[in-house]
Amino acid sequence: METGALSVALEDADAGTVDETPLFGEPDHPTAELWQHSTAVALFDAQADVPALLAAAAALAGVLVPADYAIEAVADADWVRLTQSQFDPIPISSRLWIVPTWHTAPDAAAINLKLDPGLAFGTGSHPTTRLCLAWLDTHLAGGETLLDYGCGSGILAIAAARLGAARVDGIDIDPQAVTASRDNAALNDVEARFGLPGELPETAYDVVVANILTNPLKAMAPLLAGRVRTGGQLVLSGILVEQAEDVMTIYRDWFDFGPPAAEAGWVRLAGTRR
Band (35; pLDDT cuts 50, 70, 90):
confident
Q: Count other Cβ atoms within 10 Å, centred on residue 187.
A: 15
Chain segment 66-99, per-residue pLDDT in tens: 888 999 999 999 988 888 888 899 999 999 999 9
Residues 6+ apart with CB under 8 A from 266: 126, 127, 128, 131, 237, 238, 239, 240, 241
Band (36; pLDDT cuts 50, 70, 90):
confident
Nearest residue to 208 (alpha-carbon basis) of 147, 253, 159: 147
**Letter for the amino acid at 192?**
A
Measured CA angle at 88 (ends 122, 148), to 5 deg: 20
Chain segment 137-150, per-residue pLDDT in tens: 999 999 999 999 99
Chain segment 195-247, per-residue pLDDT in tens: 999 998 889 999 999 999 999 999 999 999 999 999 999 999 999 999 999 99
State pTM to two decimals: 0.81
Instruction: Answer yes or no: are the C-beta atoms of 137 and 110 closer than 8 Å.
Output: no
**Domains (ranges, CATH) in the chain?**
7-61 (no CATH), 83-273 (3.40.50.150)
